[in-house]
Each structure stands twice: as C-alpha cells, then as structure tokens.
Amino acid sequence: MELIDAGKCLKAAQKEKGITSRELAKRSGTSPQQLLRWRSSKNIKLHTIQLLTFHLGISIDDFIAFRNK
C-alpha cells in the first residue's frame, strides 16, 4: 500500500492553481506559519484537507492525485 504524502500534494496543488501559501492561509483562516507546517507534513487530518481543497477549488480526489506530480 502506497501512503500519500499530503504535504507534497498540497505543494503541487498550490503550484498548479497558482495560489501562494500566504493567499491560501488567508482564504482558509489560518496563519502562514501553520500552512507551511502542513506543506512539510506527510500526514494531515482529513478535515484540514477538506478545508484546503475547498479553498483551492479542487476535490479531495484531485488533491490525492497530486501524489504523482
């Protein structure tokens, strides 16, 4: 079973959408420091992924698909 690196998915999603960490932090109501912690974490809680994908304008399936990019 391949485990998903959620931080890697987040970085790739941001890059594809052209959304900076500062902008995504503001949209999601968190601090830029917290967003940077998520970006460097392999494991992110599901409700956090839901929040991020909503503000990135993508589905959770799309988020997970970024593991290969």
Question: What's the rounded mean pLDDT across residues 8-33?
Answer: 97
pLDDT band at 66 (very low <50, low <70, confident <90, very high): very high
Q: CA 47 to CA 17: how far, in whole Å?
A: 20
Residue 63 lies in a domain: yes
Residue 54 lies in a domain: yes
Residue 1 lies in a domain: no
pLDDT band at 1 (very low <50, low <70, confident <90, very high): confident
| CATH number (domain holding residue 37) | 1.10.260.40
> Residue 7 in contact with residue 44, Cβ under 8 Å?
yes
Would the pTM count as exceeding 0.85? yes
Which range marks the domain in which residue 38 is found? 6-68
Q: CA 30 to CA 68: how far, in whole Å?
A: 27
> Residue 64 in contact with residue 6, Cβ under 8 Å?
no
35 CB neighbour count, 10 Å cutoff: 21
Residue 33 scores a pLDDT above 90: yes
